[in-house]
Structure 1
Amino acid sequence: MREFLLTAAREALLLELQEASQLPERLGDAFVTAASALLNCQGKVIVSGIGKSGHIGKKIAATLASTGTPAFFVHPAEALHGDLGMVESRDVMLFISYSGSAKELDYILPRLEERGVILIAMTGKAHSPLGQAARAIIDISVSREACPMHLAPTSSTVNTLMMGDALAMAVMQARGFSEEDFARSHPAGALGARLLNNVHHLMRTGEQIPRVASGCRVMEAMLELSRTGLGMVAICDEASRVCGVFTDGDLRRWMVGGGTLEAPVTEAMTPGGHVLQAQSRAIDAKEKLMKQRINAAPVVDERGTLVGAINLQDLYQAGIL
């Protein structure tokens, strides 16, 4: 039984791969027409299909929507019971039907024509009613389904999914859709956390900032280290500009070297130190901290004034990984 199952699975995969391998050769003027229609759409892209085509259509609509093309899925049956009211003349409909002769099309196609809606067909039958009514046809035909009975849509659904991805990716790149744009569509995801958060969104402020004046003693800086537990204290001048950083490591080196707690902190601190800009991206700040092999740093504004502090743990907790 084990070998039987593995053999059947391999045959299905090989058949689907063989059919899908022919798709790049089908890209041509019709694909360009379809992609251009989506690019120039002044309204929404409405994806529709029934059965397995509908399941794939939902995924294509979601991919389009998340990559810069306003899109949603409408089930053909729901379209005939009111949802066609959402379709406007400035919209584009992408209808998926392998046979191109789904019964619902008898009612949907005349309504689309009345409203002047651009129709793009994903079908395996170019001469079907769907193919004849469409401005452009994306060919998803297969010589053979992976189903041994040639009944269950398998190779054809893979072709549909891949052509949908190809269409979405081509349009996305033509729009100049960037990582930042993608993150705005996924603000709660890991990418959104990495690209949308700046340092000032995550930094510690107010009493949480470890800081002392440049005229203080090592003792005061040590107490501030203990109070905030950040492992670093910003040493500031009278204008709140950071002139140095005093860390746990500085304290250890100072004491081992025979320094006293009554000495000026400016003698024990690291002059200048590493600071972060409040407006910089959080992911860049994390990389800078790791490159410098430090855990925390003061945060300054464009004038060099201390406005916060942040450490690696703050960044990790915000999903900056």
Structure 2
Amino acid sequence: MELKCELSPLVFAQLYKQLAADTDRAELLQDRLSEIGHELSWLTEAAARYEATWQGNLKVAAGPGDLVSLSQPHALLASWLLASLRVTGSSYEFGDDLRSEVTRRALAEIPNVSVELPSPWRPVVAGWTLGMVVGAVDQNLPVAPAQLPSDANVRAAYEGLVEHVLHLGTLPTPWPEMVGTATFWRGTGLAEGLKPEAENGHQAIKQLIFECRYSVPDHLGRRLSQHFEHFAEQRNTLSHIADKPGKPRFINVIGQARDWNQIRLTITGITQFLCAQVSLELTESASRAIRAETWDELVWELIVFDD
């Protein structure tokens, strides 16, 4: 499957409004914006332009199906800007505030909307990368990020994982053993793909956990550390089956992925690892994801609808 992050103008109006009000990180944002020829005031201007598109679209919409979603480059521009805040710590609070306000406004402003909001109104900020929740498995997972990592194998593996998770959401529980435990194989494989220099899957996961502790709150970092401590060993057990001294036993591991609650932290962790990699790539000097002309190209999509 091809993952696309196509969010509502309401999401971007609120996101840029939050950034414009963030005086503590204004210097970082100004430095980032100067790379594409904008001043800090651009944040307020962008928020107003997205808001105008949102309000105009509402005027002519009879229901959620008539509301526009914006193409993925809008999410990429926002993620490129958010990536400059990686050094400031966790993105959890920013993302939580964004989601809460978008949810509040969507439920209040969209005519005939369901309480279970469609994907374009379900933004996620993980590792300072903007993403969109896809499907109806969970309110926060799985996530289509604004951009996937540059490695083609990692991209394909993550898309396959999301497709698998969406399929799992259609199955009754407990899931067949091999259907659920596939997340051990793909999760460890993705870690190895994200950290190809690591000696093995355990070391790859260890490095990823260490790095993501800077972009998640402490309570989540501790839970992920505990969840992934023996994750690669469990994958190996599933591959080799036979008992080995000091290693997890096959008959114990196969009962650990039979429903969503058991694999939720697995998908949460992989999402954090992958989005942190995207954010890192967007900060690297070789990145050409965003250019000085990007906003001029995108702003033409922001139509102000008339009655």
| Higher percent of residues as strand | 1
TM-score (norm 1): 0.22
Larger proportion of helix: 2
Q: TM-score, normalised by structure 2?
A: 0.22
Larger RCO, structures 1/2 (Cα 8 Å, 6+ apart):
2
Which has more radius of gyration? 1
